[in-house]
Amino acid sequence: MTDNDKLISCPVCNRLFEKHSIENHVNKCIFLNSLSENNTKRDGSHLEENSQVKKVKVFGSLLSSISKSQDLQSTTPVKHQLTIKEQPTKSSASNDTRKIPLAETMRPNTLDDIVGQIDAFGKGSMLHSMLKKKIIPNMILWGPPGCGKTSIANVIAKICAEQSNLRFVKYSATMSGINDVKEAVKIAKNEAQFKRQTVLFMDEIHRFNKLQQDTFLPHVENGTITLIGATTENPSFSLNNALLSRCKIIVLSKLTVDDVWQILERAVIRNNLAVVVDSIEDKVNNEIVKDKYIIERKSIRWLAEICDGDARIALGALELVLDAGPSSSTTSQSNYISLEDLKIGIKRSHILYDRRGDEHYNIVSAIHKSIRAGDDNAALYWTTRALSSGEDPLYVARRLVRAAAEDVGLGDPSALTDAVACLQGCQHIGMPECDVLLAQCAVRLARADKSREVYHAMKKVQRSLTATKGPLPPVPLHLRNAPTRLMKDLGYGRGYNTKDRDHSGICYMPEGLENVNFFNEADEEPM
């Protein structure tokens, strides 16, 4: 055996070492490498699991190379994994000076800490019972931003930490690739040998395309990993049907004002950020409020009302206000944060809306159906809400043109002219000046007389064309144009006259449809 056969290459620095010293060297090499990463890269708690997995990658390659030349004990992978996790914790703890956001510190640790989502995770629900029994199913958490998807994953992570047979791994599709998933699966297979189940949480899972999502399928199916995905997009459109069939879809609703209010008060009290009073006139012990801010419950309630059900936005706004302190005080107490202070510093600028997502289509559908029903008040509300949320005014205008033709129709033919004029006006002046044009047009269409006769007749023609077997009937010769002598000799245009159909003696329908009238008994279609 040569000297080179006795040496093993370090997977970090590529230097050669003897077998008996390679493990100690790699521990030291990884430790020094983690220090340099902490100094050059921005740290974040949401990346903690990813950094651990990357360090496990290095040890995985090391163990595979050593195992070829040395017979290791079966407990070695677990031993090395613990070593990796301990070292960066010590170094990062000494250098970590970042301020953790209030929204992060207020994440729930137990099921009972979860606020809202009673139907999905409340007491008596199936998932609540399963998680109490430490049973974690494959599931996709679907809901708007700030409703608690990541917080629920945090609760599941705590459950896994309490169990020796469960292991929790956290990724975000915005920062991780398919290779990271493959590496996590490889480690999960190794952990399975020691009776440990891997729970893989993938945040923003809709960021993976359909082909990348296929990577999860075999491993979810054979139980190598338990997949928990979080998404703000409709899973029906953003996720593979095969993946959906293997996971339970958990629909999370937007938090109510009371839910957000409870979260805000809990954050203030638990972190001792301020003294909450019903009214500033209430007598408060000066010793208690000497070094603390005073804030009224109505102020916290106002914060809960303007965040549109997003707890993260609400907590961020509260933290901003408490960091800034009172800008002006209407009382003699200098540490009083008034409602006016909040309104000066924070404006309602956050309204849940996605110009390419479900909320976009929901709002536009509400506009159209309100016009169809003749509800001018609702049509005005939904149109204004869409514009306030950042919707493209030209898109709204185009939808109004469609409503003018589809729903108003011949009941008020001038409505289509007005809708087209509205579209042209929006093209000329843009936002925000064109908002009144759209509001006026929506109300005008809602109040107009309605006739869907043409629309239903058109749909009946379309169904007839689809149901026709074989080639469609040709245009009758007498209806064809005859610009050349040859075409005239072939009979094109022969017998045609300009009289009304009742006096011309000509049939204008193709052969086989002479007696079909699409305006008779036009069927209503469900919308």
pLDDT of 224 strictly over 80: yes
**Domain 358-447 class in CATH:** mainly alpha
Per-residue model confidence (pLDDT) at position 400: 95
Q: Specify burial of residue 356 (Cβ count, 10 A radius: 0-12, 13-18, 19+).
A: exposed
pLDDT in tens, 149-182: 888 998 999 999 888 889 999 999 888 888 988 9
Under 8 Å between Cβ of 411 and 371: no
Per-residue model confidence (pLDDT) at position 290: 61
The widest CA-to-CA distance across the chain, in whole angstroms, is: 110
Under 8 Å between Cβ of 46 and 170: yes
Instruction: Using CA atoms of 237, 242, 245, 249 in order, give the dihedral in degrees to the nearest 10.
Output: -40
What would you report as the CA-atom Rg of the chain, rounded to the nearest whole angstrom?
Answer: 34
> Which of the listed ranges 12-26, 199-213, 367-381, 497-511 does the model predict with the highest average pLDDT?
367-381
Using N-to-C axis directions, what is the helix angle for 178-192 and 48-69, rounded to 10°? 60
**Domain 102-251 class in CATH:** alpha beta
Q: In whole angstroms, how far apart are CA 247 and each of 217, 233, 241, 366?
A: 10, 16, 10, 31
Cβ within 8 Å of residue 366, ≥6 positions away? 378, 382
pLDDT in tens, 381-399: 999 998 888 888 999 999 9
pLDDT of 195 strictly over 50: yes
Under 8 Å between Cβ of 348 and 306: yes
Cβ within 8 Å of residue 333, ≥6 positions away? 280, 294
pLDDT in tens, 240-268: 888 888 888 888 888 888 888 889 888 88
Under 8 Å between Cβ of 255 and 116: yes
Q: In whole angstroms, how far apart are CA 272 and each of 88, 292, 320?
A: 31, 8, 16
Per-residue model confidence (pLDDT) at position 291: 67
pTM equals 0.55
Lowest mean pLDDT: which of 221-235, 292-306, 380-394? 292-306
pLDDT of 232 strictly over 70: yes
pLDDT in tens, 7-33: 777 777 777 777 777 777 777 777 666
Q: Where are the alpha helices (DSSP H) in 96-148?
A: 102-105, 118-121, 126-132
Question: Which CATH code of 1.10.3730.10, 3.90.1170.30, 3.40.50.460, 1.10.8.60 fits the domain covering 257-345?
Answer: 1.10.8.60
pLDDT in tens, 446-489: 999 999 999 999 999 988 888 888 888 888 888 888 888 888 88
Where are the strands (E) in 257-348, listed by range?
274-277, 293-296, 336-337
Under 8 Å between Cβ of 367 and 385: no
Indicate the pLDDT class of residue 40, thresholds 50, 70 and 90: very low
27 vs 25: CA distance, rounded Å:
5
Strands 7-9 and 16-18, bridge-based pairing: antiparallel
pLDDT of 280 strictly over 80: no
DSSP label at residue 408: I
Q: Indicate the helix (H) or strand (E) that contains 201.
A: strand 197-203
Nearest of 207, 247, 252, 210 to residue 228 by alpha carbon: 247
Under 8 Å between Cβ of 135 and 126: no
Sheet of 139-142, strands arranged across: 166-172, 197-203, 225-231, 139-142, 248-251
pLDDT of 72 strictly over 50: no
**What are the sequence ranges of the domains in the chain?**
3-95, 102-251, 257-345, 358-447
pLDDT of 282 strictly over 90: no
Indicate the pLDDT class of residue 504, thresholds 50, 70 and 90: confident
Handedness of CA 88, 94, 99, 103 (dihedral sign): positive
pLDDT of 91 strictly over 90: no
Indicate the pLDDT class of residue 66, thresholds 50, 70 and 90: very low
Tell me if residue 393 falls in helix, strand or coil: helix
> Can 102-251 and 358-447 be said to share one CATH topology?
no
DSSP label at residue 45: G
pLDDT of 356 strictly over 60: no
pLDDT of 81 strictly over 60: no
Cβ within 8 Å of residue 48, ≥6 positions away? 170
* 367-384 mean pLDDT: 93
**Which amino acid is present at 426?**
C
**Which amino acid is present at 157?**
A
* 297-315 mean pLDDT: 84
Which token pair is 45? 């708690």
* 184-202 mean pLDDT: 90
Per-residue model confidence (pLDDT) at position 43: 42
Q: In whole angstroms, how far apart are CA 423 and each of 361, 377, 408, 449, 451?
A: 19, 21, 17, 21, 22
pLDDT in tens, 117-155: 888 888 888 888 888 888 899 999 988 888 888 889 989
Nearest of 151, 150, 33 to residue 92 by alpha carbon: 33
pLDDT of 339 strictly over 90: no
> Rounded to 5 degrees, what angle do the CA atoms 42, 44, 260 make?
135
Q: What is the mean pLDDT of the chain?
A: 78
